[in-house]
A and B are shown apart, each in its own frame.
Chain A
Amino acid sequence: MKKSIADLAKIRQETLRKIQLRDKEDTNCRIVVGMGTCGISAGARPCLSAIVDEVHKRGLSNIQIVQTGCVGMCRLEPMFDVYVGNEKVTYVNMTPEKSRQVVVEHIVNKRVIQEYTIGEVEK
């Protein structure tokens, strides 16, 4: 199957429709992934990929995913912050599997996974 400009134009149309249909009350959520050298070498990329995949699978919109550099806690990488509204939760020592769980539990079911948070790990 050869991809073409026509495919991309179709994706544009479909995506535009989805954006217009989007429920305004949808969760407003931001995920900030640590992507400094320490984060990348600890496995930030597969975690990011898992998050993106899970967000797509669940059909979530309004999720913003951005990067940050080294925050000085290299041994806790891969880590990311999840902001829902003004509330921030920092998840540490993540894996792709745990990252998926965070998307489902924290973002979809609105339940923080305490076990994976910085507060719990640093106890």
Chain B
Amino acid sequence: MRDISMHILDLVMNSIHANASFIRITISETSETISLKIEDNGRGMTDETLKQVVDPFFTTRNTRAVGLGIPLLYQNVKNTAGSFNIDSKINQGTIIKALFNKNHIDCIPLGDVKETLLSLIMVEPNVNYIYKHEKDNQQYVLNTKEIKDILAEVPINHIEVINWLKKDLLQYNKDFKIGLYKGGSKWQN
């Protein structure tokens, strides 16, 4: 993966394939680190699966019975001497945390998180996404449930809405201070 936003897309696809209906993405930046947290209410993993997912990180030679996504993320985190953690409870959900040391020469860039969010909203509109980005004492929050409530019978992935969201999210990229929905977003039901 070229950047963190691609990892986010990949990790959220895992949550979607685990039947999650709520997914919260949190990015927290300081001058030294980028921390990423992805929480879902999907089917979770058994201890057995969790061990398998984590195993290839520590064994040098391993035919991969499970996929590549998480090991790739782990590798990119490890390259910056960062930290990585998965917490998962069967039938409850999964929390993945990754910490990148930004100033490390091998740290991949954050990338275009806006494009990742738009892609997710486009292909899986029924999931409720909460996206939170904190940086320099400011925060941006996007809660698709709030948007859907206003749109009512108009689908959030209607091409006109996507185009509008794209412009709005673009705005946020240019000037961090501007956000549509600030704070007050509730997690879960």
Contact = CB atoms under 8 A, between A and B. Distances in A.
A37 B68 contact: yes
Interface string B23-61: 000000000000000000000000000000000000000
Given A11-B164, A37-B72, A49-B118, A67 B150 contact: no
A37 B178 contact: no
Contacts of B72: 37, 41
By DSSP majority rule, is chain A's interface helix, strand, loop, or mixed? helix
B68 A61 contact: no
A65 B121 CA distance: 11
**Chain B interface residue bracket vs A:** 35 or more
B6 interface: yes
B122 A52 contact: yes
A69 interface: yes
B162 A52 contact: yes
Interface string A55-82: 1100011010111011000000000000
Interface string B112-134: 00011011001110000000000
Contact of A37 (B67, B157, B164, B168): B67
A15 interface: yes
Contact of B115 (A14, A49, A61): A49
Interface in A26-55: 33, 35-38, 40-41, 45-46, 48-49, 52, 55
Contacts of B161: 11, 15
B109 to A, nearest CB: 15
A21 interface: no
B69 interface: yes
Given A5-B150, A12-B154, A45-B116, A40 B159 contact: no
A55 B157 CA distance: 13
B90 interface: no
Nearest to B1: A41
Interface of A: 1-5, 7-9, 11-12, 14-16, 18-19, 33, 35-38, 40-41, 45-46, 48-49, 52, 55-56, 60-61, 63, 65-67, 69-70
20 contacts: A1-B171, A7-B164, A8-B151, A11-B151, A11-B154, A11-B160, A11-B164, A12-B150, A14-B160, A35-B119, A37-B67, A37-B68, A38-B68, A40-B1, A41-B1, A45-B115, A52-B118, A56-B162, A65-B122, A67-B16
